[in-house]
């Protein structure tokens, strides 16, 4: 593998792409440590040290995607989360709005238009989330267990608030631009690479916290157990992410003039985890809503106390069951809106393709739907079990909500890593016919 890395750096154009990607990563991590104007950085550091259970479990997901920049209130505090949310919203609206669906079918021009809409929506969401984050930090709710939480933003004037929101929004726009630069001139998908870097940046601190704050007396035993658990989870995720059901497809031979077309055999790859990490993000975001309502309302009523005890900490049985069921539901929902068996069956019939033993047309669509439902069940259960690992770690190791080998983080890291390695391998094979891994 090391010789493969050496070969990759010996290829001039591939070396330029790798170095360009590394340079963008350095800039991205540098921006995650520059505080926003108007923030008292000493008070932020004090609250970060005083915080327990990760400082704020409610903002754990966004903080993980920002590489820890959210709780530090830096210019990249919002991270890549607004772009992810905007992309998911546009993807869902494409199924609902005919205009967007028509744009998607127009090819490259339509895709460029949808990308432009995604950028506009990203900026709008960044303004909304930035305003909410500044209001939360100013009220002291960002670090509820810190006595200096209300002093994080000393100046509460409107001008300071506007400057902070503008800086955070500009930071999100800059991240979006950096991601697109990596996609065009670097290696892999830019947004995925930056997401990978954000999550991986929190691994060392989280692992060290487990070593120093675990229940077991010997911290190194605790540390070793977490490493073994992480390696096992990585192996499981790689196995399931690579698993797919290949449905054979044959195309009838056609004579056009003196030439013969068709007569080839191929297959439709249906992944076991067709939905990826999207169901976990959907379920986590939905379960944050009740806690956000209680936090901003400030109510001390019985319903507010019940929600706080059930949904905020994350280890209540009702929360665990609800989280698991939501992941299973969103896995089926997302697969249903992203893979249309009828459209696939019509395209196959149009070009003379058929599944052996299945008639073309509606029987093919019904067969594809049947197979898709069968393989989505194990995929959704796998996602639910992987996502519950942080809850188990919370009890076993006294870890925080951002457990390094948690479901969302490990799914993204393994998925992005596999895709990036495949792209480097394909480019190496074009030049010397040797893969990235021997």
| Chain mean pLDDT for the chain | 79
* Alpha carbon distance 16, 23 (integer Å): 10
H or E element, residue 256 = strand 254-256
Residue that has been written with the tokens 């056009």 in this structure: 256
Domains of the chain: 1-192+425-438 (1.10.3370.10), 239-405 (1.10.3370.10)
- What one-character DSSP code corresponds to residue 188? S
Site of tokens 């996502």: 387
Q: How far apart are CA 207 and CA 72, in angstroms?
A: 19
* Residues linked to residue 267 through DSSP beta bridges, in sequence order: 248
Question: What is the model's pLDDT at position 171?
Answer: 92
Which range has highest mean pLDDT (128-132, 144-148, 309-313)?
A: 128-132
pLDDT tens-place string over residues 358-395 = 888 888 889 999 999 999 999 899 888 888 876 666 55
Residue 288: its H or E element: helix 278-297
Specify the DSSP element, H or E, that contains 70.
Answer: helix 69-72
When pLDDT is cut at 50, 70 and 90, the band that residue 5 belongs to is low
Q: Whole-angstrom Cα distance, residue 126 to residue 164?
A: 12
Which two tokens mark 249?
């497809």
The Cβ of residue 54 has, within 10 Å, a number of other Cβ atoms equal to 20
**pLDDT-based confidence at 204, cuts 50/70/90?**
confident
Q: Give CA separation, 297 vs 75, 303, 312, in Å.
A: 28, 12, 15
Per-range mean pLDDT, top range of 14-18, 152-156, 274-278, 289-293: 14-18
pTM recorded for the entire structure: 0.78
Six-digit token string for 265:
């055999």
Name 349's Cβ contacts closer than 8 Å, sequence gap at least 6: 360, 361, 364
The number of residues in the chain equals 438
Give the model confidence (pLDDT) of 296-339 as tens digits: 666 677 777 777 777 666 667 788 888 889 889 988 988 888 88
Q: Evaluate whether 278 touches 330 at the Cβ level (below 8 Å).
A: yes
Do 126 and 153 form a contact (C-beta atoms < 8 A)?
no
Asked whether the predicted pLDDT for residue 174 surpasses 90, the reply is yes
| Cα–Cα dist 10/12, whole Å | 6
């Amino acid at each position: 593998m090391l010789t493969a890395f050496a070969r990759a750096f010996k290829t001039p154009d591939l070396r330029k792409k790798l170095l360009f990607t590394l340079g963008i990563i350095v800039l991205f991590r540098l921006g995650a440590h520059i505080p926003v104007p108007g923030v008292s950085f000493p008070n932020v550091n004090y609250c970060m040290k005083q915080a327990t259970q990760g400082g704020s479990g409610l903002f754990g997901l966004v903080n993980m995607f920002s590489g820890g920049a959210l709780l530090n209130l830096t210019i990249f505090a919002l991270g890549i989360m607004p772009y992810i949310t905007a992309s998911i919203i546009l993807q869902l609206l494409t199924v609902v709005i005919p205009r967007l669906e028509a744009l998607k079918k127009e090819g490259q021009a339509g895709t460029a238009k949808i990308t432009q809409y995604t950028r506009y929506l990203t900026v709008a969401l960044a303004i909304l989330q930035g305003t909410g984050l500044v209001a939360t930090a100013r009220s002291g709710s960002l670090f509820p267990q810190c006595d200096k939480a209300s002093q994080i933003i000393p100046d509460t004037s409107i001008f300071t608030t506007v400057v902070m929101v503008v800086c955070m929004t500009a930071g999100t726009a800059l991240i979006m631009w950096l991601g697109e630069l990596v996609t065009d001139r670097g290696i892999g998908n830019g947004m995925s690479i930056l997401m990978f870097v954000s999550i991986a940046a929190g691994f060392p601190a989280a692992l060290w916290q487990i070593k120093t704050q675990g229940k077991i007396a010997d911290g190194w035993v605790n540390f070793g157990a977490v490493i073994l658990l992480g390696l096992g989870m990585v192996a499981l995720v790689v196995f399931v992410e690579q698993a797919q059901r290949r449905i054979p497809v044959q195309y009838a031979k056609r004579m056009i003039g003196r030439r013969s077309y068709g007569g080839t055999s191929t297959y439709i790859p249906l992944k076991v985890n067709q939905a990826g990490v999207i169901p976990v993000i959907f379920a986590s975001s939905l379960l944050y809503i009740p806690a956000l309502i209680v936090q901003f309302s400030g109510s001390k009523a019985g319903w507010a106390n019940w929600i706080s005890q059930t949904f905020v900490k994350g280890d209540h049985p009702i929360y665990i069951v609800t989280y698991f069921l939501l992941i299973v539901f969103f896995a089926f929902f997302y697969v249903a809106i992203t893979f249309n068996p009828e459209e696939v069956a019509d395209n196959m019939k149009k070009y003379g393709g058929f599944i052996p033993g299945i008639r073309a047309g509606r029987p093919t669509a019904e067969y594809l739907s049947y197979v898709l439902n069968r393989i989505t069940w194990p995929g959704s259960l796998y996602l639910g079990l992987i996502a519950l690992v942080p809850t188990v770690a919370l009890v076993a190791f006294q870890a925080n909500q951002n457990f390094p080998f948690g479901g969302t983080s490990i799914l993204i890291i393994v998925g992005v890593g596999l895709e990036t390695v495949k792209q480097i391998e394909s480019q190496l094979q074009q030049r010397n016919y040797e893969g990235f891994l021997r």
